Amino acid sequence: MVAEQRIVEVSRIVSGSMEPTLAVGDWLISTSIPMLNLPIARGDIVTFYPPRGRPSPIPLVKRVIGLPGESVAVRGGAVFIDGTRLDEPYLHGTSTPYSMVVAKVPEGTVLVLGDNRGRSEDSSVFGAVELRRLRHKVWLRIAPTSRHCSFAGPVLGFPPCT
């Protein structure tokens, strides 16, 4: 399947896998990773089509947790990168008591998790995602207006997302 690529895309959240950060009904603006040659960093929220064998008509939205070459594990709901606990303030103190065995992130891939770990089909289910499958990096939450914010810090009058 070849998907049309846009530099900027507007999309609506349709699942609770990224709660509390993104709620069902939130509207987002995201920017093309390949067309703008955007770097990928831990904590980025990205869209992608799931790996082969897990078809989806719409891209998934998840957070980049593990980078190429790192070892990632989840114990008691806490993420560990190369043995060091990851600070995840975007979870707002929520924790899902689940675990994931240590996984080495292969070169050319990233490990992605939903913020709502108990309700997310992510790398804990389908493994690492190839960098070439990443489509967009989420930039702004534009609606509802009571929740508008920027994932890139304060920009265009949007406050930073917390």
| 103 assigned to some structural domain | no
In a domain, 126, yes or no: yes
Indicate whether 13 belongs to any domain. yes
Decide if 104 is catalytic: no
Q: What per-residue confidence (pLDDT) applies to 153?
A: 86
DSSP per residue, the chain: ------SEEEEE--SSTTTTTS-TT-EEEEEEHHHHT----TT-EEEEPPPTTS--SS-EEEEEEE-TT-EEEEETTEEEETTEEPP-GGGTT------EEEEE--TTEEEEE-SSGGG--SHHHH--EEGGGEEEEEEEEEESGGG-EEBTBSBTTBPBP-
What confidence score (pLDDT) does residue 1 get? Answer: 41
Domain count, the chain: 1
Answer whether residue 79 is part of any domain.
no
pTM for the whole structure:
0.91
Per mean pLDDT, which of 16-20, 115-119, 121-125 is the most reliable? Answer: 16-20
* Catalytic status, residue 11: no
Active-site choice (11, 30, 32, 62): 62
**What is the band of 2 on the pLDDT scale with cuts at 50, 70, 90?**
very low
Residue 130 inside a domain? The answer is yes
Domain membership of residue 136 (yes or no) is yes
Peptide bond just before 20 cis, omega within 30 deg: yes
**Whether the Cβ atoms of residue 113 and residue 81 lie closer than 8 Å to each other:** no
Q: Quick one: pLDDT at residue 125? A: 86
| Closest-CA residue to 81 (of 122, 33, 113) | 113
Six token digits for residue 43: 């904590």
> What residue numbers bound the domain in which 14 lies?
8-65+111-150
Contact at 8 Å (CB) between 102 and 112? Answer: no
pLDDT tens-digit readout, 102-111: 889 999 999 9
CATH of the domain at 135: 2.10.109.10
The torsion angles phi and psi of 132, rounded to 5 degrees, stand at -65, -15
Placement of tokens 């509802």 in the chain:
144
Q: How confident is the model at residue 95 (pLDDT cuts 50, 70, 90)?
A: low
